[in-house]
Amino acid sequence: MTSSADIEGNLKKAEHLIRAAVEQGANFVATPENTCHIRSEAELKLESAQAQEDHIGVPFFASLAKELNITLLIGSMTIKHDSKKLLNRSFLFSADGKLSATYDKIHLFDVQLANGETYCESDVMDAGSNAVTSKLNDDFTAGLSICYDLRFAGLYRDLAKGGANILCVPAAFTVPTGKAHWEVLLRARAIETGCYVIAPAQVGEHEGGRKTYGHSMIIDPWGQVLAQKESGEGIIISDINIYQVNKARTAIPALEHDRNYLVV
């Protein structure tokens, strides 16, 4: 997606893309970080955000999941936490329209890039404190994360040890960091854990001139890219099979080989 500042417009765009994926046979659909909207300034984010109980996106996507009989991960929506801070929150809906799980982004994007771009997510966001897994069906359990979390390998190892065999990484990566690191980090997380990685991403130019890298990907447990959106908005789709998880983890059972050690 290329989310704008218009929440209702973004919800309709997401619905169109979700329906298109379902028409191609998808029964688990994931959308990017900031599905509801992207704002350029902290004041605008605070002004336009809604509390979860008031957010129009929550019943909207719950109803859509139930209508289409799919499991639906909304990569994140901006939720008002209090008068001064927000939460960057993922929403996982089951096929009966119930909210199965939420996840608040743990690692906040406070960086200064070499090209001069500066981001300080903690100015307006509160960090989450809980890693979250949620069972999707008899075979698959999702481990939830958002964007900058991708750089913290320990989180994904903990999710995998907690039962996850799909790692979800909805994102809005910047163009410079996306070109340099997006694919290699996603593939590394898959290889390290023997998990599928599903990474829907924002793409294009947003309010205030911010640009995101896109290149949504689905990656298998051996680190192979099964599908990638090379440019623009749209959908990618792939079959996933628990056999591939079991095969990768049997070949290299790294999750079982942790050892205690001292740093000296």
pLDDT in tens, 11-29: 999 999 999 999 999 999 9
User: Which pLDDT value is given to residue 88?
Assistant: 97
- State the total domains in the chain: 1
What confidence tens digit (pLDDT) does each residue in 147-177 have? 999 999 999 999 999 999 999 999 999 999 9
- 60 within a domain of the structure (yes/no): yes
What residue has token string 């960091």?
Answer: 177
Which of 33, 121, 168, 195 does the annotation list as catalytic?
33
Structural domain harbouring 201: 7-255
User: Is 105 a known active-site residue?
Assistant: yes
- 263 within a domain of the structure (yes/no): no
pLDDT at 57 over 80: yes
Question: What is the DSSP pairing of strand 166-168 with strand 141-144?
Answer: parallel
What confidence tens digit (pLDDT) does each residue in 220-231 have? 999 999 999 999
For 86, other C-beta atoms within 10 Å of its C-beta total 19
Model pTM? Answer: 0.96
- 52 within a domain of the structure (yes/no): yes
Do 75 and 33 meet the contact criterion of CB atoms below 8 Å apart?
yes
What confidence tens digit (pLDDT) does each residue in 86-125 have? 999 999 999 999 999 999 999 999 888 877 778 889 999 9
Which of 13, 45, 80, 105 does the annotation list as catalytic?
105
**CATH (domain of 127):** 3.60.110.10
- 264 within a domain of the structure (yes/no): no
Which of 36, 80, 121, 147 does the annotation list as catalytic?
147
Do 203 and 35 meet the contact criterion of CB atoms below 8 Å apart?
no
- 2 within a domain of the structure (yes/no): no
- 94 within a domain of the structure (yes/no): yes
User: Which pLDDT value is given to residue 42?
Assistant: 78
Residues contacting residue 5 through CB under 8 Å, at least 6 positions apart: 37, 38, 39, 44, 48, 207
The beta-strand segments (E) located in 44-179 are: 71-80, 86-93, 99-104, 110-112, 118-120, 132-135, 141-144, 166-168
Percentage of the chain beyond pLDDT 70 is: 100
User: Which pLDDT value is given to residue 27?
Assistant: 97
User: Is 23 a known active-site residue?
Assistant: no
User: Is 33 a known active-site residue?
Assistant: yes
